[in-house]
């Protein structure tokens, strides 16, 4: 629709000039004033005239009809009607459909892409689980929201660097090393992977309750690791490798790849320079032995940098990472996707960046999302109120496979399709609501495949593929047709829906809101299915109509597939 908004804005500007209106807005501002009427009876676009009432000393309704009186002819506009203070535009169905359809088909997977970010780099820090801790439903948000925001930026021309800021440093490694040596063995870790690491970690806590001396031991082992002890370093590296292998399986199911896995440990040797700069700027204070940056002038609690024993704290690593990323990537934005509980934390250390004399605080962006609970209860690894992502995905995929075995047993690549649909169902469900809303997650809800769901959307995509496959040679003919015609309301409704994709991407990007895309996918699938049920494609009345409908089907597939890719959902052609 963007093209038509621009077109109408130019004509509106010419009309206002013709009427000698003083202070005519820019074309861009006129474009922003255009609205979508609430119902198609009122046209396809509407221009509110209220704003001009004061300067022209006339009622908005009179102004609207005066504009209508001088509005130039356009092949894209069927008619204009004034209602109240609005001038409503009715697009010419044939011209609009022909133009938009050709636009989608010729751009194909580039349809909806923009160049807004050309020349700019965005770093995205997301997922970032803590090594040797379970990868669970609490991480789904940062993982899929983060990746989706990355995809939207890429689609909008930004160069993106996805960073997995692994939690691979800290006293927990001392605990794990102690627990492994005391209660573990190599074979079991190799066999059970991260599950065994988690078991050892939990066991350590249970044992340390009885024997607090274990904590001291763990601290010592971590200090040894910090000092570069070879044995501990070897174990630590191994624990990371085991954890990463597991995470990468889950990422592959989601179609996610990271450009960097530089975790917290990567910044260890970069912290001394950070500390010196803080000292230089005189912002480091000693408080009860620890080193902090006082933020009371900004109504925030202090940012903790070093423990009293001199070891580095989490914020110090984030500060070092931000400086490193700025120097390495020269980002125009560095985006952090975490749950809303960490908002204050990010505001704190963003401020410290400024206090250190850097000028990029306002390029650091924290994107929070709502908390997840299960059955109304907080997530808690210790009590077992947690759902592991691998288990959740497996349940979903198994359920889909069962259904496929019943309904479509001969489907080629059944396992692959089942994985795409099962995982897609969960992702779509998770991204359905606004990101900031808290989610009470239940497996039943996530795996209900009725209504507004991922499988419904994927099924619709597969339907477009099967129609095209069935059409065979007619598709080539349709592609080369020189004219497309609009003969039914549903066709026009569908092409209008497809024409909205570029601006939906833009608004989702501006709001960092994948749910706008999810909503768009659902609406598009619904409109397509209405079209499909009411407009015969292959048995249409004429070749021209068949060509149009086939190409509408193809265009829908193109748009759905692109939209899926923006929200980590795969697009199997057969399900």
Work out how close the CB of 214 gets to ligand ARG at its nearest, in angstroms, rounded to a whole number. 24
Q: Is 380 within 8 Å of 386 (Cβ atoms)?
A: yes
Q: Does 9 bind ligand ARG (CB under 6 A)?
A: no
Q: Is 197 within 8 Å of 243 (Cβ atoms)?
A: yes
Query: What's the CA gap between 295 and 69, in Å, rounded?
Result: 62
Q: Residues 77-116 vs ligand ARG: string with x where CB under 6 A?
A: ----------------------------------------
For ligand ARG, the closer CB: 141 or 455? 141
Member of 66, 221, 318, 419 binding ligand ARG (CB under 6 A): 318
**Pick from 504, 173, 566, 512: nearest CA to 338:** 512
Cβ neighbour number for residue 429 with a 10 Å cutoff: 23
Member of 167, 184, 514, 557 binding ligand ARG (CB under 6 A): 167
For ligand ARG, the closer CB: 349 or 461? 349
Q: Does 336 bind ligand ARG (CB under 6 A)?
A: yes
Q: Does 368 bind ligand ARG (CB under 6 A)?
A: no
Residue 12: CB partners within 8 Å, gap ≥ 6?
30, 47, 67, 71
For ligand ARG, the closer CB: 263 or 422? 263
Query: What's the CA gap between 495 and 553, in Å, rounded?
Result: 10
What is the DSSP secondary structure assignment for residue 301, as one 8-state letter? P
Q: Does 143 bind ligand ARG (CB under 6 A)?
A: no
Work out how close the CB of 286 gets to ligand ARG at its nearest, in angstroms, rounded to a whole number. 25
Member of 5, 147, 165, 496 binding ligand ARG (CB under 6 A): 165
Q: Residues 260-299 vs ligand ARG: string with x where CB under 6 A?
A: ----------------------------------------
Work out how close the CB of 239 gets to ligand ARG at its nearest, in angstroms, rounded to a whole number. 15
Interface positions, 113-142, toward ligand ARG (CB under 6 A): 125, 128-130
Burial of 211 per CB tally in 10 Å (0-12, 13-18, 19+):
exposed
For ligand ARG, the closer CB: 338 or 518? 338
Residue 327: CB partners within 8 Å, gap ≥ 6?
none
Q: Does 338 bind ligand ARG (CB under 6 A)?
A: yes
CA 523 to chain centre: 18
For ligand ARG, the closer CB: 124 or 559? 124
Q: Is 108 within 8 Å of 558 (Cβ atoms)?
A: yes
Residue 215: CB partners within 8 Å, gap ≥ 6?
175, 208
Work out how close the CB of 2 gets to ligand ARG at its nearest, in angstroms, rounded to a whole number. 35
CA 258 to chain centre: 14
Query: What's the CA gap between 28 and 14, in Å, rounded?
Result: 14
Tell me which residues touch ligand ARG (CB under 6 A).
Answer: 125, 128-130, 165, 167, 318, 336, 338
């Amino acid at each position: 629709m963007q093209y038509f908004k621009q077109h109408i804005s130019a004509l509106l500007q010419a009309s206002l000039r013709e009427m000698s209106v003083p202070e005519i807005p820019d074309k861009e501002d006129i474009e922003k004033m255009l609205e979508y009427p609430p119902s198609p009876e009122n046209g396809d676009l509407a221009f509110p005239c209220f704003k001009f009432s004061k300067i022209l000393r006339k009622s908005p309704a009179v102004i609207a009809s005066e504009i209508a009186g001088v509005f130039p002819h356009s092949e894209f506009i069927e008619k204009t009607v004034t209602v109240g203070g609005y001038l409503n535009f009715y697009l010419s169905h044939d011209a609009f459909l022909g133009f938009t359809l050709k636009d989608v088909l010729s751009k194909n997977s580039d349809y909806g892409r923009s160049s807004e970010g050309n020349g700019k780099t965005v770093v995205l820090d997301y997922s970032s689980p803590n090594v040797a801790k379970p990868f669970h439903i609490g991480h789904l948000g940062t993982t899929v929201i983060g990746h989706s925001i990355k995809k939207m930026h890429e689609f909008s021309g930004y160069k993106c660097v996805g960073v997995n800021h692994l939690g691979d440093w800290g006293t927990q490694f001392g605990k794990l090393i102690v627990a492994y040596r005391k209660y573990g063995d190599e074979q079991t870790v190799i066999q059970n992977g991260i599950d065994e690491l988690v078991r050892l970690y939990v066991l350590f806590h249970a044992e340390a309750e009885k024997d607090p001396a274990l904590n001291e031991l763990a601290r010592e082992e971590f200090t040894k690791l910090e000092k570069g002890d070879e044995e501990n370093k070897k174990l630590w590296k191994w624990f990371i490798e085991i954890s990463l292998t597991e995470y990468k399986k889950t990422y592959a199911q989601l179609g996610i790849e990271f450009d960097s896995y530089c975790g917290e440990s990567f910044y260890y040797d970069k912290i001394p320079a950070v500390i010196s700069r803080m000292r230089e700027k005189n912002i480091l204070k000693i408080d009860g032995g620890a080193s902090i940056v006082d933020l009371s002038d900004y109504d925030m609690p202090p940012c903790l940098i070093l423990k009293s024993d001199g070891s580095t704290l989490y914020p110090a690593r984030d500060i070092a990472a931000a400086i490193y990323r700025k120097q390495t990537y020269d980002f125009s934005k560095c985006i952090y996707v975490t749950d809303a509980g960490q908002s204050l934390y990010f505001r704190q250390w963003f401020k410290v960046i400024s206090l250190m004399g850097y000028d990029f605080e306002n390029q650091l962006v924290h994107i929070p999302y709502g908390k997840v609970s299960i059955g109304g209860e907080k997530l808690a690894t210790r009590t077992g109120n947690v759902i592991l992502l691998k288990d959740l995905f497996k349940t979903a995929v198994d359920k889909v496979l069962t259904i496929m075995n019943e309904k479509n047993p001969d489907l080629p690549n059944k396992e692959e399709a089942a994985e795409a649909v099962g995982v897609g169902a969960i992702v779509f469900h998770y991204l359905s609501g606004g990101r900031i809303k808290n989610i009470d997650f239940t497996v039943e809800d996530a795996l209900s495949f009725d209504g507004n769901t991922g499988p419904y959307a994927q099924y619709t995509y597969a339907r477009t593929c099967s129609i095209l496959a069935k059409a065979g040679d007619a598709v080539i003919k349709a592609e080369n047709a020189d004219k497309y015609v609009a003969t039914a309301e549903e066709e026009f409704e569908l092409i209008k829906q497809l024409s909205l994709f570029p601006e939906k991407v833009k608004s989702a990007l501006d709001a960092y809101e994948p749910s706008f895309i999810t909503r768009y996918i659902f609406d598009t699938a619904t409109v397509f299915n209405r079209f499909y049920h009411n407009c015969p494609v292959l048995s249409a009345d004429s070749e021209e109509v068949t060509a149009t409908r086939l190409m509408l089907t193809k265009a829908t597939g193109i748009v759905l597939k692109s939209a899926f890719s923006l929200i980590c959902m795969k697009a199997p052609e057969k399900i």
